[in-house]
Structure 1
Amino acid sequence: MLNITLIKKIMMAMTGLFLSFFLIVHLFGNLQLLLPEHQAQLQFNHYSHLLSGNILIKLVSYILYFSIIGHSVVALIITLKNNKSGGKYQLDHRGRASKWESRNMGFLGTVILIFLVIHLANFWYVYKFGTIPEDSNGNKDLYIVVKEVFSSGWYVAAYILSAVALGYHLRHGVYSAVRTLGLFHPKYVGYLKTIGLIYTYAITIGFAVIPIYVYLTQQ
């Protein structure tokens, strides 16, 4: 019988890597918002329509929901267990040698989860169940919703802070997940860290730039 702790770590690693891959796809879709306004409106709305109407995408979305919930629940269990044990970093002083994000993954994950709930309420829920006008191509005009939400300075600031929290979370999480699954050879650790760092900065900066651009172009 597999060790329960190992099962939880493997689940964290697999769901974490899937979510990391999803972030790349999600970012590429959202980068269409940086196009000239009319082009951005039509392309982004078409992209959103494709995601909502494709059966394969719907199947992937169920995996996404499972990954978010599974990753969050297992992370909560691990964090509570560590806190109950008294905090291993405080006891053996490894905090002096470890990075800040590796000691605060629970906090970073909580910030990301809270923002994710708000984010889904503002976009996913509105798109699925709200009343949205159609653009000139007959697609739901999610672009208008995006502009309205990103016209709020406090939301843009919260979005940027959440992107930074996500970056710190990814910087430790991706490397940790790959190690847990045994997908790298010690000879290539340096390359893995470099790729992970490039990925982290690309995701963080990419998601932070979008709300800033949309906000500034409306002023």
Structure 2
Amino acid sequence: MSEFKQTFNSSLGKKLIMALTGLFLCTFLIVHLAGNLQLFANDAGYSFNVYANFLTHFPPIEVIAYILYISILVHALYAIVLTVKNRKARPVRYASAPKSPTSWSSQNMGLLGSILFLFIVIHMSDFWYKYKYTDTVGFKEYRTNVLTGERTVTDFKPESPEFEHSYTTENNVEIVRVKDIHTKVASSFSQLWYVILYVVAMGTLSFHLLHGFQSAFRSLGWVHRKYTPIVEFIGTWFFAVIIPIGFAAMPIVYFFCKH
């Protein structure tokens, strides 16, 4: 046990934890983007509201969510520890900065991570916290004729403060009553400052993943002449380009097209 503890207290151990939590967070980004693409469905928020309700009421997903929160905190904490340790190891800056083959993103991971952590706090307090723990998010009632596919949507006010959601069927009409996080998202994305914050955060995420994804594989020792170019390609084009653009497109589209 002491050797195990000593290993994970070492710089190598901390980098391994950073790599594992980072790759887990990368996996979450894929799932999160796939779910958030429901925002583009032209169905009065039905798909996105049902998706959000599923995430917060399906026990296995809730367990994974808490693992996610822990991973974010651990990743941020170990990043701070490693950054401070590296600065202590070189307390005096060079009189003239030597030329370095490392990229700008790799030299500024601490700054990039700090911006992302601040964004996550703001983002979760605006959506996740208000959705789960306040009454500032209203409800929608969706009535769908299962024979024709026609759907109507109205605001719904539950009689009981404990009400969270319901799914019923009456006379071939499916009735779904869920929290209306879609309206909260549309409201936030109608504010220019929030759109700018979101886009800047996604730009930051791009640079963070540009180095972080590839670095995680190196920290785990998964380096191979044949497979490393594939990892670099995925890290560059998928994680550093496609995913940030996908997220950034949401507030932009809502602000300019649905405002």
SS of the equivalent of 1:139 reads strand
Displacement after TM superposition at 1:88 (Å) = 9.1
Residue pair 1:82, 1:88 contacting (<8 A) in 2 also: no
When the two chains are superposed, the root-mean-square deviation of aligned CA atoms in Å is 1.8
Distance 2:27 2:96 in 1: 34
Tell me which of the two structures has the higher relative contact order, counting C-alpha pairs closer than 8 angstroms and 6 or more residues apart: 1
> In the TM superposition, what whole-angstrom CA distance separates every residue of 1:28-61 from its partner, at most 9, and x where no partner exists?
11111112152xx000000000000011001101
List aligned pairs for 1:167-206, cutoff 5 A: 167-199=206-238, 200-206=240-246
Which structure shows the bigger proportion of residues in strand conformation? Answer: 2
Distance 1:188 1:89 in 2: 36
Match 2:16 to one of 4, 10, 20: 10
Q: Do residues 153 (structure 1) and 202 (structure 2) align?
A: no
1:80 corresponds to = 84
Distance 2:92 2:55 in 1: 43
Question: Unmatched 5+ residue regions in structure 1?
Answer: none
Distance 1:194 1:87 in 2: 35
Displacement after TM superposition at 1:188 (Å) = 2.1
2:70 corresponds to = 66
Residue pair 1:108, 1:169 contacting (<8 A) in 2 also: yes
> In the TM superposition, what whole-angstrom CA distance separates every residue of 1:43-97 from its partner, at most 9, and x where no partner exists?
0000000000011001101110110010000000111112222369958956531
Match 1:33 to one of 11, 33, 39: 39
Displacement after TM superposition at 1:98 (Å) = 1.0
Once the two structures are overlaid, the 10-residue window that deviates more, 53-62 or 92-101, is 92-101
1:107 corresponds to = 111
> In the TM superposition, what whole-angstrom CA distance separates every residue of 1:123-162 from its partner, at most 9, and x where no partner exists?
0001011212111121100000001111100110010000
SS of the equivalent of 1:151 reads coil
Q: Percent identity?
A: 40
Alpha carbons of structure 1 residues 95 and 89: separation in structure 2 relative to 1, 3 Å:
farther
TM-score w.r.t. length of structure 1: 0.93
Question: Unmatched 5+ residue regions in structure 2?
Answer: 142-175
1:163 corresponds to = 202
Q: Do residues 43 (structure 1) and 47 (structure 2) align?
A: yes
Amino acid in structure 2 at the alignment position of 1:154: W
Which has the higher Rg, Structure 1 or Structure 2?
2
